[in-house]
Structure 1
Amino acid sequence: MKVRLDHIGNPLPAGINERQLKTGGWRYEAIVYSDGKSKRVGTFDSITEAKTARDKELGTKPRKTWNAQLSGQRFGYGVALHQTQYRASDGSAMWQMLCSCGTYYLASSNNLKTGRVVSCGHFKKTIKPEMQVEIDKMRKNGTTTALLTRKRPSTNKSGVKGISVVKLKNGETRYLVNITAKGQRHYLGRFETMVKAQEALRLGRKQFVDPIIKSQKE
């Protein structure tokens, strides 16, 4: 997700929206995210006033609402500044990050904890050509056997690699099945039981993973 900029090109703080008045001036709206809903704090003449009001509103919220557990932690080249009101497609919180190159960017807590996001994107550009050649030698058909056969990550709560547990608002549980191969993420569905999810995962591995492993052994 790209960093939002104001009308003069400076990054807008999380939860601050800018709008232009008919008179040509600018106003700044402060928004907080609480209990799955967005709440408008107010509209102000400056970013500083809007951010101050937003911070004050957040300060009245329970700690679990404004999660600070990642604040100050480093993930690769980036440092987590604070949680935003945004949510990723998987429901995890989006964090405002500051990269070592000075660029601001957003990343979900899940992607940070699993190592999927380690920078604003500059890391790929800094790989030396000779290093990239060696990396390419390790790969066949766009992926490596190690990535396909590695163990279940510690953040996985389902107990099965490729299956994630999702709690619905009504309290029910669903099991999401995803497989990543050749740099592409294949969504295989959402199921009511682990048995159905495991069967979908088995068929998915047979379709997407097994052919790659077989070709690399040849």
Structure 2
Amino acid sequence: MGRKILDLTGQKYGRLTVIEEVARKGYTRKWLCRCECGNETIVTQPNLRNGHTTSCGCVQREKTSKSNTADLTGKKFGKLKVVKRLGTAKNRKAVWLCKCECGNTTEVQSDKLLSGETTSCGCARVEAGKAVQQTLHEELTIDGVVVPYLTRKARSDNRSGVKGVSIITLKSGEKRYKAHITIKGKTIHLGTFETLEEAEQARKKAEEVYHKPYINKLKEEKRHDE
């Protein structure tokens, strides 16, 4: 016995009442519906049944109209206080000039204010980012040393290609390689060498002495926290 074909005729979905099925394109069934506002629209069966479409579009238009006609002057949204209306954006949403608690001004669309999507000029996001960075900074600091800094790669403008090694040119035109290492804000000079290999070796030995203890200590603390 074949499966019974679902008939949505007469059923109601939000503001839509199903009138009849219309010709489908492909496998998706479509239905002609009449909206409470009087308009008719064609909606796919999945969008009706999952609640994705509940009107001909009049609900969204009403929301837009309501947000555009509401006077938001003087109202507060998070850190923003509405100063005045500036006009209408290309998407037909009202645009408002707002002053933030930090002193900056910004332009915000009405729907973003009313929905709570925008609550500052952007300073709140910056402050939150700084707070996260500060927390990470504290968690990754051992005895005043920010451990991730110790394992950073050589800077892109380092001509030697080796971290902590710079190239110097003597008056004779010969090149030498100067090695150094920094710890707790203090730079320790490791010497000047004729070859890059010698300077790199001196740098690696210094990392074992000055950097590795902090790196190992952070690893131990992480294992302990786990």
TM-score bracket, shorter-length normalisation = 0.3 to 0.5
* Larger-gyration structure (1/2): 2
Q: Which has the higher contact order (CA 8 A, sep 6+)?
A: 1
